[in-house]
Copies of this chain bind each other. A is one copy, B any other.
Amino acid sequence: MMETVLNVGLTEETVPGLIKNTNDERLVYDAYRRLITMYSDVVMEKAAGIEPVSDQKGIRKQLDKIMEKMKKEKGVKYDNELDAEDLKKLCKLYKMRVKELLGKPFPDDAMKQLWEGIGAVFASWNGKRAVSYRRIEGIPDDWGTAVNVQAMVFGNMGETSATGVGFTRNPATGENKFYGEYLTNAQGEDVVAGIRTPAPINEYGKTEHNKRLTSLEKGMPKIYKQLFNAQKRLEAHYNDMQDIEFTIENGKLFILQTRTGKRNGPAAVKMAADMVREKLISKEEAVMRVTPSQLDELLHPMLDPAKEKTTSPMAKGLPASPGGAFGMAVFTADDAEQWAKDGKQVILVREETSPEDVHGMHSAQAILTAKGGMTSHAALVARGWGKCCIVGCGGIHINVEKKQFTARDKTVKEGDWITLNGTKGYVYEGKMDLIKPDIEHNVTLMYFLDICNSVKRLGIRTNADTRKDATVARRFGAEGIGLCRTEHMFFNPHRIKSMRKMILAERLEAREKALSELLPYQKKDFLEILEAMEGLPCTIRLLDPPLHEFLPREKDKKQELAKELNISLEKLQKRIDQLHELNPMLGHRGCRLGITYPEITRMQATAILEAAAELTKAKKRIYPEIMVPLTGMRAEMKDQYEVIKSVADKVEKRYNVKIKYSIGTMIETPRAALTADKIAEVAEFFSFGTNDLSQLTFGFSRDDIAGFLPDYLNRGILPVDPFHIIDRDGVGELVSIGIKKGRLTKKDLKVGICGEHGGEPSSVEFCHSVGMNYVSCSPFRVPIARLAAAQAVVKEKRKD
């Protein structure tokens, strides 16, 4: 959650008393100056909905300019070189400027400040920043916010004062070590803003960057001991990693706040796994501790280490959030958003970031800042999203006006490619190859995924068309293949020729001849895939796309083909024209092909079942599930069932073996879902094809939604892209009807989902809730689906 810390209570009237109490005039006037700045920014400008007084930064920037001017006049570099008189004068100048620019005076009344401040915090809930943040994070608008009022303590009362932030475990790695940063003679916002590089609180936190700074452990060992004990108690109390803010005022420790700490994906997984091992939390609690997007971070791409070894970075910063990324450099959040909308990959490069930059950070592939530490705004936000991020990269010099930065002797202009290694903090010129993460050797991850398996009920299968994919998916924990598409197998240059011959044949005989050429290829494919999935079920879908997709489009390819087939180009063109469809998505495809050309179904069924027969004879446990696509009617299913069954009977007889196969169907037309009771009289399993089902239920072509989908999402007509997250009200209703009706006919009907929703967490939860047996997704989404399936179980229990 976001928080705003607002200091109130200093006025012309209260300042003298405070000076008397603290005996530090400079401190008090500095606090007063800061209060005026923040109050006029947050309460008088932002919360009041006043347009910023300058294009760039509003009142805050204007007040900062007054101080910069004074520092220049006094010939000093740092704020703390200004004395009490300077600061007192600044307070006056600030107040004059506020009245001038915002049209009303800064209220020199403590209670008015308090009540207006409280009002401003509540109002901030509907501010643009907060709304945008909630959109990104998926937080409902009606939660609302809260206000705490507490007395101030000061971390900037000299060298025995300090302020800092601590995490009970390392939020970047998950290691069970107290980790944090602090600044002496400073206030909380100085740490978060990242203007001064903070010191580590203990030796554990030492890095290349801060190793020369004194840790709290060394500098104030007694206070450190208190702090260490406090964080231990807090974690034990809350049973989760805590993010603690503390201030030391004249040698006295105050814990300002504790909350569950944000963490990146690897840390979240490690903490959850560790805490189960440490018996701190249950397995069910553990699966709730990692969000699917955090888990996704572990599956993120990295820079190719071989390539990296031979390349020198142009700059080095703090590794704030791991993973690799490349993109074109942009220098404002608005540019980042706009370029991303235009389909470009960008990296947002900033001096430092602030909540105003959130929209641009979200749009960027990665974030690079020149200033700030591991707990700076950029670092916290990027880690929360699992987005690659490097902060405190002092070696780069940014010129926002010119939209460029320099590092050493190199200049990177807007639009130039750069690559970041967020795990190490390296910045490279140009675009560098990314490689997939080595998930299988990540022992902590594997342990965590085992926890997921022990909680989840849904089976997790994979979509795989090749032995390679099948093998990878098995390693990620796939429990079978939920969708093996056969059409891709025909695009190999040798095969496409036979395929085209088949399509262009005018008589059954010629078609069967061409199909007989394809048979050995298909059989080999299935031998490989079935063997790779030995012991697990393997759903193979019969040919789905319309035949014209296999024909050449370019003229020279057509000429070549005509020659090969020994027909005239005109004749070929005529046949291609015949096959042309106005709406191929709704055309002659799916089981409609198998019905008009049963010889295609026969060939494919033969290939699958002969492969299965051979493997079964070789004592392999093989479970092919033959899936008929795009069924809409019982009669279609019946027709194809009989074709396949008759092939199976012959193959079993020929090989003298019993094959453990079944024959089922995709449910991907609304009609199939609505008449599932009848289809289930024939089909032995269902697999919901929610891609096509969504297209048909909405009447949206995925290929053609670009014309209106962005508008729909922006204006909230669609809350989310229904091809990404399943539409529960419409498509989900059909899925639900389909399952209910199907199981009316066959009580134990096996039901799954294939298609892209199968790897999307909220859709997986939906699939669990409607009682599916399994989901199927791409190999690299299998771990996400395992987690989502486990979380679905826990959420369901917690709801009851």
Contact = CB atoms under 8 A, between A and B. Distances in A.
Interface of A: 579, 581-588, 590, 592, 595-596, 630, 632-633, 635-636, 639, 668-671, 674-675, 678, 692, 695-701, 703-705, 707-708, 711-712, 715-718, 727, 729-731, 733-734
A675 B730 contact: yes
B583 A704 contact: yes
Contact of A698 (B596, B669, B711): B669
A624 to B, nearest CB: 25
Contacts of A592: 707-708
A487 B630 CA distance: 33
A191 B697 CA distance: 59
A707 to B, nearest CB: 4
Given A708-B592, A734-B670, A701 B636 contact: no
A546 to B, nearest CB: 9
A734 B675 CA distance: 11
Contacts of A718: 633, 635
A582 B635 contact: no
Contact of A586 (B585, B633, B678): B585
Contacts of A698: 632, 669, 671
A701 B669 CA distance: 13
A595 B674 CA distance: 30
B585 A729 contact: no
Given A586-B695, A630-B699, A671-B698, 14 more contacts: A579-B707, A582-B584, A583-B701, A583-B703, A592-B708, A595-B715, A633-B718, A633-B730, A670-B699, A670-B734, A671-B729, A671-B730, A671-B731, A674-B734
B630 A711 contact: no
Nearest to A580: B704
Contact of A707 (B587, B636, B668, B708): B587
Contacts of A727: 671
A733 B734 CA distance: 12
Contact of A697 (B583, B671, B701, B733): B671
Contact of A583 (B585, B668, B707): B585
Nearest to A638: B717
Contacts of A711: 595-596
Given A639-B717, A670-B730, A704 B587 contact: yes
Nearest to A733: B674
A729 B635 CA distance: 13
Contacts of A716: 635
Given A592-B708, A636-B717, A671-B727, A699 B696 contact: yes
Contacts of A583: 583-586, 701, 703-704
7 contacts: A579-B707, A583-B585, A583-B704, A587-B705, A633-B730, A670-B730, A671-B698
A507 to B, nearest CB: 16
Nearest to A630: B699
Contact of A595 (B668, B703, B708): B708
Contact of A675 (B595, B705, B729): B729
A730 B635 CA distance: 13
Contacts of A670: 670, 696-697, 699, 730, 734
A637 to B, nearest CB: 10
A730 B581 contact: no
A708 B633 contact: no
A669 B727 CA distance: 14
A730 B636 CA distance: 14
A717 B582 CA distance: 24
Contacts of A582: 584-585, 701, 703-704
Nearest to A582: B703
Contacts of A668: 699
A149 B695 CA distance: 62
Contacts of A675: 729-730, 733
A142 B632 CA distance: 26
A734 B730 CA distance: 12
A39 to B, nearest CB: 40
Nearest to A730: B671
B697 A581 contact: no
Given A674-B729, A712-B595, A734-B670, A581 B635 contact: no
A81 to B, nearest CB: 55
A702 to B, nearest CB: 9
A697 B673 CA distance: 10
A674 B717 contact: no
Contacts of A630: 699
A293 to B, nearest CB: 26
B633 A581 contact: no
Contacts of A733: 674-675
A718 B729 CA distance: 30
B696 A633 contact: no
A668, A675, A696, A705: most-surrounded residue (chain B CB, <10 A): A696
Contacts of A633: 717-718, 730
Given A670-B670, A675-B730, A701 B632 contact: no
